[in-house]
């Protein structure tokens, strides 16, 4: 397939992904009354990726220009960046595919470890939860709600009940 068709498919897919995904995020942020919310933004990204994968995925091999450029420079047909998706075909193909399989498992794990180490430096957040100033008294043990004493109401108030008047005695 001609490189111009692949690049055009990448451009169209990436353009629509940015338009729909980022556009929905901007709408959700600037027009909160519209009701799109976080779920709408997530659906916009997901459905756009799904639609573009079906529409142009067979032409370009994906929607990530960095992967497409890398594959083009390496003169490869296609690849998988999902270790589970790479394992099945490698088991059937054998030979060279099995010899490369370790990289498809190791690279995402190393990338995740690096991301975990870099995260505190990028965000300034250590990720540690604050420790409570005081804990439960170790000499007392509560095994059921009945042992908590009279601090709990006997039964929840009914939905139609009026709240007590603080001024009445």
pLDDT tens profile 91-129: 888 888 888 888 888 888 888 888 888 888 887 776 666
Instruction: Give the model's confidence band at 84: pLDDT under 50 very low, under 70 low, under 90 confident, else very high.
Output: confident
Closest CA to 91 of 106, 78, 104: 104
Mean pLDDT of the chain: 75
- Asked if 78 contacts 61 with a C-beta cutoff of 8 angstroms, the reply is yes
SS3 category, 113: helix
pTM of structure: 0.42
Q: What is the pLDDT of residues 20-35, one digit of tens each?
A: 999 999 998 888 888 7
- Structure tokens that stand for 1 in this block: 């397939």
Q: How far apart are CA 58 and CA 47, in angstroms?
A: 17
């Amino acid at each position: 397939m001609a490189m111009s068709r692949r690049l055009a498919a990448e451009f169209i897919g990436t353009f629509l992904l940015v338009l729909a995904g980022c556009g929905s995020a901007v709408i959700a942020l600037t027009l909160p009354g519209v009701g799109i919310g976080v779920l709408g933004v997530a659906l916009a990204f997901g459905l756009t990726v799904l639609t573009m994968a079906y529409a142009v995925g067979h032409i370009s091999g994906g929607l990530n220009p960095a992967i497409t450029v890398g594959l083009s420079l390496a003169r490869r047909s296609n690849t998988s960046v999902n270790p589970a998706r790479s394992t099945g075909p490698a088991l059937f193909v054998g030979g060279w595919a099995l010899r490369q399989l370790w990289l498809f498992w190791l690279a995402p794990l190393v990338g995740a470890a690096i991301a975990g180490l870099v995260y505190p430096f990028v965000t300034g957040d250590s990720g540690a939860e604050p420790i409570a100033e005081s804990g439960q008294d170790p000499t007392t043990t509560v095994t059921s709600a009945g042992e908590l004493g009279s601090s709990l109401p006997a039964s929840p108030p009914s939905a139609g009940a009026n709240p007590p008047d603080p001024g009445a005695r």
